[in-house]
């Protein structure tokens, strides 16, 4: 894992966007893995400003709440549209996000993995981290799924994400998430960590041990991970 410490969220966002931009310049038909959450929003803002050509890019998002309507303001589908897709020239048919409206989650997950595998995984995967160490919605557990799955969210994640909903009771209790296999199939993973509330998990992630109780710690086993961490998140290192 290559670790870059930067001063603040702006610097992290610029660096993340530069890596994505270089990827698209090198390979205009790149397959990009996108994440939601506050961590990558600055990267997306910079990508929009750069005016890059996304017309040949294919995207796969990590996860979506379940059940969740695509047009719900808290859906990840809506998030991606508002924060990135409607501002760039990516083709609608090249956008892949797990479908929170599907009637058969098992079939949806299998289709998602099949499609991702047909592309040979992503060329570059943007990742954030939950404060409990989750990646996508792969929550701390004794075992972690390889395949895309319907998973139960932990209380910590529901509480952390409640800030986006009117009240905690509205946060879906389940989600569809790419599994560790899909994430690890990426050729290059860019992990973005910012803010003092991520300092403890950043320290745990880099402890020199791997554990499924900190899903992100497994990323230290991947051959090409770039971690960009800001000063606040790195404060306990
Ligand atoms: C959600 C998403 C994750 C994201 C995490 C952290 O639970 N499923 O993919 O990494 O939140 O979000 P934030 O970047 O807002 O801290």
pTM: 0.96
Please tell me the distance from the alpha carbon of residue 5 to that of residue 193, in angstroms, as a whole number.
10
| C-beta 33 within 6 A of ligand 1 | no
The residue to which tokens 């994640």 are assigned: 157
Q: Is 165 part of any domain?
A: yes
| C-beta 172 within 6 A of ligand 1 | no
Residue nearest to ligand 1 atom 10, measured at CA: 128
Q: Is 234 part of any domain?
A: no
Q: Is 184 part of any domain?
A: yes
Nearest one of 65, 38, 77, 35 to 171, comparing CA atoms: 65
Q: Is 221 part of any domain?
A: no
Q: pLDDT of 112-157, one tens digit each?
A: 999 999 999 999 999 999 999 999 999 999 999 999 999 999 898 8
Q: Is 139 a catalytic site residue?
A: yes
Determine the distance separating the centroid of ligand 1 and the alpha carbon of 130, expressed in angstroms.
5
Is the Cα dihedral 138, 64, 39, 73 positive or negative?
negative
| C-beta 192 within 6 A of ligand 1 | no
Q: Is 49 part of any domain?
A: yes
At 28, which CATH number? 3.40.50.1360
Determine the distance separating the centroid of ligand 1 and the alpha carbon of 149, expressed in angstroms.
17
Least confident residue range of 43-57, 128-142, 158-172: 158-172
Q: What is the domain range of residue 53? A: 2-208
Q: Ligand 1 test: best mutation among 127, 129, 133, 177, most atoms within 8 Å of CB?
A: 129
Phi, psi of 6 (to 5 degrees): -125, 165
Determine the distance separating the centroid of ligand 1 and the alpha carbon of 36, expressed in angstroms.
6
pLDDT at 160 (0 to 100): 85
Structure tokens at 207: 């402890």
Q: Is 12 part of any domain?
A: yes
Average pLDDT over residues 221-233: 98
Task: Give the Å distances, CA to CA, from 156 to 74, 134, 161.
Answer: 18, 10, 9
How many distinct structural domains can be found in the chain? 1
């Amino acid at each position: 894992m290559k670790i870059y410490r930067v001063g603040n969220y702006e610097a992290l966002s610029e660096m993340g966007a530069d890596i994505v931009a270089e990827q698209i310049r090198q390979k205009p038909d790149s397959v990009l893995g996108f994440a939601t959450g506050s961590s990558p929003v600055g990267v997306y803002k910079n990508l929009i400003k750069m005016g890059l050509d996304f017309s040949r890019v294919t995207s796969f998002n990590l996860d979506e709440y379940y059940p969740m309507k695509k047009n719900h303001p808290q859906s990840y589908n809506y998030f991606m549209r508002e924060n990135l897709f409607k501002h760039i020239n990516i083709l609608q048919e090249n956008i892949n996000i797990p479908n929170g409206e599907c009637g058969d989650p098992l079939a949806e997950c299998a289709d998602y993995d099949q499609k991702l595998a047909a592309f040979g995984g992503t060329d570059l995967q943007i990742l954030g981290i939950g404060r409990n160490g989750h990646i996508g919605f792969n929550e701390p557990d004794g075992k972690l799924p390889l395949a895309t799955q319907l998973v139960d969210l932990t209380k910590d994640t529901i509480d952390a994400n409640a800030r986006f909903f009117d009240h905690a009771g509205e946060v879906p209790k389940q989600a569809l998430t790419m599994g560790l296999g899909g994430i690890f199939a990426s050729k290059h993973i860019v992990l973005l960590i910012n803010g003092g509330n991520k300092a403890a998990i950043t320290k745990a992630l880099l402890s020199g041990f791997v554990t499924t109780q900190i899903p992100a710690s497994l990323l230290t086993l991947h051959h090409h991970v770039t971690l960009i961490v800001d000063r606040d998140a790195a404060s306990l290192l």
